[in-house]
Chain A
């Protein structure tokens, strides 16, 4: 995860494998086709989480990992950008409800939406950081 290109690949893998998981559960007669992309999604999530750990997005007050000033600024900036994305989705949903366009989804589709919201809200700031941060290895500089 030292180079930006590799991290961007992991971010794309994270969300791409989640979409494949949804497609697997929707179109497969069993759920077996969805297991592999779900596993890949989980591994990608772990990779991004490990890289962004030092930015302390999910750290408790007693955790010895503390971000420095630059990392705290990067963290807050990523969360600010994530806020704009999530709020746009909320406004879109409110607009649909307000115009009387009932969001009619099946039970399975709402389950998928729930897990998509869980994934998005818990990974968006980390993904933005992993996407934008410069290379951290001494060999891979900008």
Chain B
């Protein structure tokens, strides 16, 4: 369904994956149930894009067990580590920002009560980012696969 040999196609997949998830989480963050249900439609498309990105990056065996073949070669292992290193920098900025924000509003229970839904939705959004970022970076950067 999605072609991943071409780098431009893969970049469109990554944009679609995160863009549609942004729409999904914006919809889920509202208190309106109809909007929240409608937001699941773009989620379905972005899940397909997510699966395609994961399948492409699978060769780098980000989460394969040591007993599973094939193992990544030296170049793929370097690419994997580079992608995870870049993801780490992004995640560190998010972690510091979130903990700083929570420290700033900790003494205001009304803030938590008013924003609990948004915080919960954001935590799942970051969760998705954590699970997909290295693979998305690999899919974004790898050159075209010539067949």
Contact = CB atoms under 8 A, between A and B. Distances in A.
A77 B92 CA distance: 16
A121 B98 CA distance: 13
A9 to B, nearest CB: 25
Contacts of B31: none
Nearest to A106: B106
Interface residues of B, number: 30
A94 B124 contact: yes
Interface stretch (A17-25, A30-38, A78-86, A134-142): A78-86
Contacts of B33: none
A42 interface: no
B84 A107 contact: no
B99 A83 contact: no
Contacts of B119: 97
B68 interface: no
B85 A75 contact: yes
Contacts of A106: 106-107
Q: How many of chain A's residues touch chain B, expressed as a range?
A: 20 to 34
Contacts of A75: 85
Contacts of B126: 90, 94
A87 interface: yes
Interface string B112-145: 1000100110011011001100100000000000
27 contacts: A73-B81, A76-B78, A76-B85, A79-B88, A80-B80, A80-B81, A82-B88, A83-B87, A83-B88, A83-B91, A86-B95, A87-B130, A87-B131, A90-B91, A91-B127, A91-B130, A93-B123, A94-B123, A94-B124, A94-B127, A97-B123, A98-B120, A98-B124, A102-B112, A114-B100, A114-B102, A125-B88
